[in-house]
Chain A
Amino acid sequence: KNEVEQSPQNLTAQEGEFITINCSYSVGISALHWLQQHPGGGIVSLFMLSSGKKKHGRLIATINIQEKHSSLHITASHPRDSAVYICAVLFSGGSNYKLTFGKGTLLTVNP
């Protein structure tokens, strides 16, 4: 079965720290999504990427196709970044209805 593994499950940081959340998957992919979910809130798409690197503000997403691994980085973290971050993978040849979701990483940023 195609799988998506996220690490760590939980992450606590102090304001200003550099954060890295990891996502590993088992076979080749068409695309990878990073999503953000605030406590009790909706889900927001942060990035969709299939190669290289994307940046939006303090958020950076990278993907290494050969190593089947993606990272989400947050620079100068802030308490408002506290949320669950979810990796979702579209395995090769799939459509959006074939997305496989990781279980999420709960990030808490303390002031």
Chain B
Amino acid sequence: NAGVTQTPKFQVLKTGQSMTLQCAQDMNHEYMSWYRQDPGMGLRLIHYSVGAGITDQGEVPNGYNVSRSTTEDFPLRLLSAAPSQTSVYFCASSYSSSPNVLTFGAGSRLTVL
């Protein structure tokens, strides 16, 4: 099925551990992005990419790393997990970065103990 696939759906980490959230899309979208969703707050942009080899920081990039080696994949790396990174993470993509409908993944719920 065409869309955005995120893995894993759930993950529990200990403080200081590292991990990678995977995001893949099969719609040939140029624009991909990572958001975090916390209670009482709107979605906040972590990192985004406007094409393979091009990434940039969003509103809350600290503690996260990204790369975009292919059009399809946009993994999000947590370098040294902290309890403040407990959140639900969403990957989203669109045809381009100009005003365009976004397609979201199903979300990844991360708990850092």
Chain A residues engaging chain B, CB cutoff 8 angstroms: 4, 30-31, 33, 35, 41-45, 48, 50, 86, 88, 90, 95-97, 99-104
Contacts and interface: CB of A to CB of B under 8 A. Distances in A.
Nearest to A104: B42
Interface of B: 31, 33, 40-45, 48, 50, 56, 58, 90, 92, 94, 96-107
Nearest to B93: A96
A18 B44 CA distance: 31
Contact of A45 (B96, B97, B101): B101
What secondary structure prevails in chain A residues at the interface with B? strand
Given A42-B105, A97-B31, A97-B45, 5 more contacts: A43-B90, A48-B101, A88-B42, A95-B97, A101-B42
Given A97-B48, A97-B56, A45 B42 contact: no
Given A42-B106, A45-B104, A4 B42 contact: yes
26 contacts: A30-B99, A31-B99, A33-B102, A35-B104, A42-B105, A42-B106, A42-B107, A45-B102, A86-B42, A88-B42, A88-B43, A90-B99, A95-B50, A95-B98, A96-B99, A96-B100, A96-B102, A97-B31, A97-B50, A97-B56, A97-B97, A99-B102, A101-B43, A102-B42, A103-B40, A104-B42
Contacts, number: 64
Contacts of A30: 99
